Amino acid sequence: MNYSTGTDANTLFVDGERVLCFHGPLIYEAKVLKTKPDATPVEYYIHYAGWSKNWDEWVPENRVLKYNDDNVKRRQELARQCGER
């Protein structure tokens, strides 16, 4: 399996990029550590901010979101709906 060490034409996110990522029903701040650009779908090795590295995991691209104002608001709304802060 090929792992990316930067950008790739097939990926939406780059290694080291701050992102938001679904884990269960909620969205958490995270960082892309590695990518599998040749996987179908593309996968990213994610580290969740403030979590132990034991939670790091490969996730499909559809669980990862750009870190921007709209997605931060989406994260906050989901947390509110689930009773989280």
Q: Encoding tokens for residue 71?
A: 């997605």
Q: What is the pLDDT of residue 62?
A: 96
Q: Whole-prediction pTM value?
A: 0.85
DSSP characters for the chain?
Answer: ---BSS--TT-SS-TT-EEEEEETTEEEEEEEEEEETTSSS-EEEEEETTS-GGG-EEEEGGGEEE-SHHHHHHHHHHHHHTT--
Q: Can you tell me the mean pLDDT for 49-65?
A: 97
Domains of the chain: 18-81 (2.30.30.140)
Q: What is the pLDDT of residue 4?
A: 47
Greater confidence (9 vs 1) lies with: 9
| Residue type at 63 in one-letter notation | R
Please write the tens of the pLDDT for every residue from 34-56: 999 998 889 999 999 999 999 99
- Residue whose C-alpha is closest to residue 13's, from 68, 52, 74, 50: 68
